[in-house]
């Protein structure tokens, strides 16, 4: 299957600082990528759709000024958590979709565990 | 939006047992995937199965789209099968809505 790589896998930052997470599709091009957030023992919640060359689309309730998304190329999307606070601590996961002929299968990065202290 | 419920929420098995996990969804879909989330958080693709039946080793899955459910079968379970199993669905979009998950623990 297709490979999606996410970096870093783990990050600890101080309150008030910003953190950037990268998501790369290694062996395919992705015009669209997705960012999810997962709280402990909970399901994945879609945060936003990252669109190559245009603005991201955010789900209801997600602060676009807090979670900045940039999709500058067909293989890279970045999520920047700005002015991080302890409540932003969470597991963030990206995905990209690969496939043709009506089959579009999502592949996920390894995830980033963010801890804000 | 589409609601996705999975059952059971928790499942404890002894090695060698078989199990069936269920995924119910509230509206029509043309994309359905099953994932296994390992203890490190990585989501592993199990099946892309918007309809029909597929098998891969000890795992198999069936989706009955007209009745809005999918089943994941695990046979002869092993301790390495432990983790959380998610189904995720979509309709005319690459966006996936995740189910509530089933947490599986397999003991030796």
Write out pLDDT tens, residues A62-116: 999 999 999 989 999 999 999 999 999 999 999 998 876 557 899 999 999 999 9
Q: What is the 3-state secondary structure (H, E, C) of chain A?
A: CCCEEEECCEEEECCCCCEEEEEEECCCCCCEEEEEEECCCCCEEEEEEEECCCCCEECCCCCCCCEEEEEEECCEEEEEECCCCHHHCEEEEEEEEECCCCCCEEEECCCEEEEEC
Residue B9: pLDDT above 80?
yes
Q: What residues have CB less than 8 Å from A41, skipping those under 6 apart?
A: B103
Res A103: pLDDT: 73
> In Å, how far is A47's CA from the nearest CA of chain B?
11
Q: Would the CB atoms of A32 and B35 count as touching at under 8 Å?
A: no
Burial of A103 (0-12, 13-18, 19+ CB in 10 A): exposed
CA B39, chain centre distance (Å): 16
Cα separation, B25 vs A52, in Å, equals 30
Question: What is the per-residue pLDDT across A19-46, written as a single tens digit (0 to 9) for each?
Answer: 999 999 999 998 899 999 999 999 999 9
Contact B45 A97 (CB under 8 A): no
What pLDDT score does A97 carry? 87
Q: Which DSSP category does B47 fall into?
A: E
Q: Residue written as tokens 């995905």? A: A95
Residues B6 and B74: their CA atoms lie apart, in Å, by: 15
**Dihedral in degrees, nearest 10, Cα atoms A88, A23, A82, A113:** 30
Longest dimension (CA), chain A: 46
Inter-chain CB proximity A104 and B98 less than 8 Å: no
Contacts of B40 in chain A (CB under 8 A): 110
Looking at beta carbons, which residues of chain A come within 8 Å of B96?
34, 46, 95, 106
The pLDDT score that the predictor gives to residue A115 is 98
Contact between A108 and B88 using a beta-carbon 8 Å cutoff: no
- Is pLDDT above 60 for B102? yes
B31 vs A contacts (CB less than 8 Å): 104
**What pLDDT, in 10s, does the model give residues B28-82?**
999 999 999 998 999 999 999 999 999 999 999 999 999 999 999 999 999 999 9
């Amino acid at each position: 299957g297709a490979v999606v790589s996410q970096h870093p896998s783990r990050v600890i930052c101080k309150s008030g600082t910003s953190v950037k997470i990268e998501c790369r599709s290694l062996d395919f091009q992705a015009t669209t990528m997705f960012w999810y957030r997962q709280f402990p023992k909970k399901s994945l919640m879609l945060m936003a759709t990252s669109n190559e060359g245009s603005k991201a689309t955010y789900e209801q309730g997600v602060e676009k000024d807090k979670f900045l998304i940039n999709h500058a190329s067909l293989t890279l999307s970045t999520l920047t958590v700005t002015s991080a606070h302890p409540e932003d601590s969470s597991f963030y996961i990206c995905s990209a979709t690969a496939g043709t002929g009506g089959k579009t299968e999502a592949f996920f990065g390894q995830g980033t565990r963010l801890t804000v202290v | 939006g589409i609601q996705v419920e999975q059952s059971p929420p928790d499942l404890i098995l002894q090695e060698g047992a078989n199990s069936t996990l269920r995924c119910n969804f509230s509206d029509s879909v043309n994309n359905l995937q099953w994932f296994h989330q390992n203890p490190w958080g990585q989501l592993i693709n199990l099946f892309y199965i918007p309809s029909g039946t597929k098998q891969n080793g000890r795992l198999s899955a069936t989706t009955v789209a007209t009745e809005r459910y999918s089943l994941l079968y695990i046979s002869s379970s092993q301790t390495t099968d432990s983790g959380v199993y998610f189904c995720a669905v979509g309709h005319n979009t690459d966006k996936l809505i995740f189910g509530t998950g089933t947490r599986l623990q397999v003991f030796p």
